[in-house]
Structure 1
Amino acid sequence: MKNFNIFFIIFILCFSIKIYGLLIGGWSDMDTSSAKVKELAKKVLDKYNTEQKENNTLNKIIKAKQQVVAGMKYNITILISPSSKSASNCLNYLEATIFEQPWTKTENITIYKKPTENKPTSKKPTSKKTTTKKPKSKKPKSKKTTSKKTNSKKSTNKKS
């Protein structure tokens, strides 16, 4: 009977983790079509337009997450484009963190990733270029180290 009670408690805990999320205080995904996410996206876009003195429109909400802290913390990624017709094919990603604490009437919006002028399909090749540049910069460093060793050998030979 004792083993059954332990098994039952473990089963209930596992089941509740599945229903309510993995960790209390951990990040959980949000429905991008919810009213709250749309409200957050609008706030982020308004702040960005005000700071940059631009007029962008919201194209799509890519992803949204939330975390319970001393209040609520949201992380949102949106796709925006300039309102002008001449630049309408320019899509930009924008990521932001929003911290809300209703009982103190606090709301902080931090835009930590400025948009890049890439279409969603051209984002992957950009990351490949970055990874190929890193090894190239490492090779000259090792050559310099080798040349220093050669110079030290020459100076050692001169002393002998």
Structure 2
Amino acid sequence: MNSFDDAFEALIGSEGGYSFHPADPGGETMWGVTARVARGYGYAGAMKDLPLDLAKRIAKQKYWDPLHLDEFDPRVAFQIFDANYNGGLVVLWMQKASGAKEDGKFGPDTVDAVKAADPMRFVLRFIAYRLRYLKGLHAWPTFSRGWTERMATNLLLGAA
């Protein structure tokens, strides 16, 4: 994996297509994009019809670019991107996994620490913090199987 395009393709493999599960706090989604986010990007159609190319544009603008993911090792960038797309305390996990000051604020110090971190160590630590977070969510009993599979896939991708 070495680009946004590769990362997006891997991400969509976990996200799938249309979903509207009553226990999902994200509500109705297509390609992992919530209706609220899609509407914020001007999409007015049925969520089931959200074009993949729009989901990809949203992913790049909202979840990839703001965290400067092009600057990182591709394995690291994918983990951050996947978590940012899926939700959670991404900046804090970046800081904890890289040894940066843990203040939850994204900036140059966080970028530098992530760049300096050993990619494999970062991936393992980042996924560990993410799993702890997911396990603490009220939706864990409902979605634990899928989230666990997603994390296993991410570990395999991180080791590639």
TM bin, normalised by shorter chain, reads: under 0.3
Could you state the TM-score of these two structures normalised by the residue count of structure 2? 0.21
Structure with larger Rg: 1
Could you state the TM-score of these two structures normalised by the residue count of structure 1? 0.21
Structure number with greater CO (CA < 8 Å, separation at least 6) is 2
